[in-house]
Amino acid sequence: MSAAASIPNPAEQPQSTRRDFLVLSAVAFASVGAAAGIWPMLHSLDPSADTRAEATAEVDLTHIKPGQAITVRWQGKPVFIVHRTEAQIARAEADDKAATIDPAKDRTRVKRKEWLVVVGVCTHLGCAPTSRAVGDLAPRYGGWVCPCHYSQYDISGRVRRGPAPSNLPVPPYRFQDEDRLIIG
Ligand code: FES
């Protein structure tokens, strides 16, 4: 199992010191065959047609501490699951009126404030947004930046700077119990 390590709160850290959300592939698993995976590896994986077709993915949340995130695969797509801190929640809610490209209140994008679940595919041309701060690619709004054309997403997954036209989609999901998430 991967060691869990805290990440700096993007809202509290200089952009130059931000690190990518920790990927804890070992704590995410698929109930019916959808493979969990480390985000950078997703490009090299070639899910089979039957994997793509799997309807649901089940994720154990117990090892994802506040401030950490994982990426799991669901129907062939990466899904970001972020355990948000109080500061991240406050930032997301404070920015409700600032997200003007595809306006949405944070509370409409989560079922539990501490858990953000979004499809990790840029809504411009489908590149992979990253939370890693690398030079000019630093996320500016506590979420992700797309390396292709620099769209910016906040910690609610809302697009804050284009060319992406819309927010990161929220997939269908539910909490099976306190510590278990079902996507799909
Ligand atoms: S594909 Fe993300 S900004 Fe163009």
Q: With 90 as the cut, is the pLDDT of residue 150 above it?
A: yes
- Residue whose Cα lies nearest atom 3 of ligand 1: it is 149
Q: With 60 as the cut, is the pLDDT of residue 18 above it?
A: no
Spatial contact of 132 and 115, defined as CB atoms under 8 Å apart: no
- The topology (CATH level 3) of 15-183 is Rieske Iron-sulfur Protein (2.102.10)
Q: With 80 as the cut, is the pLDDT of residue 135 above it?
A: no
Q: Residue 149 catalytic? A: yes
Which segment of 8-12, 79-83, 166-170, 178-182 scores lowest on mean pLDDT? 8-12
Q: Where are the domains of the chain?
A: 15-183
What is the tens place of the pLDDT at every residue in 80-126?
A: 999 999 999 999 999 999 999 999 999 999 999 999 999 999 999 99
The atom of ligand 1 lying closest to the CA of 151 is 3
Q: pTM of the predicted model, to two decimals? A: 0.75
For residue 149, give every residue at least 6 positions away whose Cβ sits within 8 Å of its Cβ, in sequence order, or none: 124, 125, 127, 163, 164
